[in-house]
Amino acid sequence: MARVPDPSDARDGLRHMKTRIRIAYVMIAATYVATISSILLGCRPLHRNWQIYPDPGSTSPPRLWSAAMLTGPDFCQPAISKINVYVTVVLNVATDVYLLLIPAPVCLSYRDKSGKKNPGPR
């Protein structure tokens, strides 16, 4: 005898969907702020971010601990600055993975019309 699908099964995957989506909004905003901050604040003085000639290089005096220690001699060149690349890549991948996981409960709890659970990819 075929199992009759229970309507509450479909709602289980949607139970905390709004919360997960709000968390995604916060993650995206935080990623944006962190990326822009690492680009703009990684080079001091700030006007050197737009300097092309002469090469801005490492113009800030080294301190005991600063972002300059992580970025090496090219921290005034955002395209090749290690800290900018790491911040951008790590936060971008984390946000992408989280966004892909939002619909996972719905996909995993899906049942077809006969009541059978979704067998997954073939």
Q: Could you give the CA distance from residue 76 to residue 73 in angstroms, rounded to a whole number?
A: 8
Residues 6+ apart with CB under 8 A from 108: 13, 118
- Please name which of 4, 43, 23, 46 lies closest in space to residue 99, comparing C-alpha atoms: 23
State pTM to two decimals. 0.64
Query: pLDDT tens digits, residue range 30-80?
Result: 999 999 988 888 877 777 777 777 766 654 545 545 554 554 556 677 677
In DSSP notation, 29-95 reads HHHHHHHHHHHHHSSSSGGGGG--SS---S-SPP-SS-THHHHGGGTT-TTT-HHHHHHHHHHHHHH
